[in-house]
Structure 1
């Protein structure tokens, strides 16, 4: 029961790490008319999900394994590696802001363990980026949650971030977004099976259109979201 409660807490959209501030490029896609209804939103959310599944998702699993064995050097290495997959400034900013928020919260949730505290000190000192996937891996390991729970939470968060933003900038209803979330959630286990066997050399995140959307958004005049 405790594990289930922790999983719900870490996956809740109200979990205070700032996901509501970002749209993963959706705002630009909507402004350009590329995403304009439920069907195009589903396609976009799936693309975001796939991009994260085999990059951020893999990093979170690797961080979980490193945190489980208290291998701090590997945690720092993973943290640096995942940032190499982020081609635009806003994606890097998103990961670092959310990661640091979770690191700060982690020191409060796990006061008897120094892993988050040490990592946060290195983030503040500029020794490591402090990415959100790594923070998720550490948090789930310290909470005793398994890799499947971590990956499900990661994918849920990525998809729900886009769908929540869509309610503010795309002509869709809550019924539409919940239907999309339900459908895409059923694909998560397939991604997990592949991602759980991947290493740094296997990771990929090639969805260039999203990096274009992000670069346009950085200079855009209409901005509700950070990216």
Structure 2
């Protein structure tokens, strides 16, 4: 029960992680497509989950979850930086990760201060999936719970951004969010080899273009 409650706690949008400032490409995608209805939003979410979260964010989070020291975490962090091509996503991931870590440092979560010191010293960068993996293990989440929390927070953040942008209504958004659960379950069951080389490939060129164009926009609600 405590592990379940910890998972709900870390997945809650009310947790002060700074995620409200990031749309993870939704604002740029809406601008590139002209708009997004609930069907198109569902397609973008599925595309993101399949080709970015499952292969990059999930793997980075899991490698960090199993990391036993900061030296290993630094390798994971810098590899994720190299694999994230669009600058707005790199910057957003680091900012979001630092906000998430700062909240846990203030909560005295074990390991949070050590990671903050490593980021301040330039050893680590603090990308969100990496920070999540490191912290969630120390919050009492098991691997399956961490994967579920990772997928849910990514998807919910994009859906909430769509609501704030006025692209879909609140009820439609919840229907779209719930519609991703079967896909998340399938992707979460994909094999993960801890002994394999650290690599985080993603293939979301359309979304990468949208995010890059969004960064040059004069008027925007979200940072990415």
Q: TM-score, normalised by structure 2?
A: 0.92
- Structure-to-structure mapping, 1:44-63, within 5 angstroms: 44-50=44-50, 51-63=52-64
Query: Is contact 2:49–2:184 with CA below 8 Å preserved after alignment?
Result: no
1-side partners of 2:191 and 2:161: how far apart?
A: 26
Other-structure match for 1:89: 87
Other-structure match for 1:138: 134
**Distance verdict in 2 for CA 1:35–1:205, change over 3 Å:** farther
Which of 142, 146, 150 does residue 146 from structure 2 map onto? 150
**Distance verdict in 2 for CA 1:180–1:197, change over 3 Å:** farther
Structure 2: 5+ residue stretches without partners: none
Q: Which of structure 1's runs of 4+ aligned residues deviate more than 6 A?
A: none
1-side partners of 2:123 and 2:91: how far apart?
A: 16
Other-structure match for 1:222: 219
**Distance verdict in 2 for CA 1:200–1:169, change over 3 Å:** farther
Q: CA deviation at 1:189?
A: 2.3
Q: CA deviation at 1:105?
A: 2.2
1-side partners of 2:157 and 2:115: how far apart?
A: 26
Structure 1: 5+ residue stretches without partners: none
Other-structure match for 2:176: 180
Query: Is contact 1:26–1:166 with CA below 8 Å preserved after alignment?
Result: yes
Query: Is contact 1:53–1:195 with CA below 8 Å preserved after alignment?
Result: no
Query: Is contact 1:18–1:98 with CA below 8 Å preserved after alignment?
Result: yes
Q: CA deviation at 1:106?
A: 2.3
1:209 aligns with 2:206: yes
Query: Is contact 1:37–1:170 with CA below 8 Å preserved after alignment?
Result: no
1-side partners of 2:73 and 2:207: how far apart?
A: 27
- Residue-by-residue CA offset, 1:44-93 (whole Å, 9 max, x unaligned): 11112221121011110111111xxx333211111111111211111011
Q: TM-score, normalised by structure 1?
A: 0.90
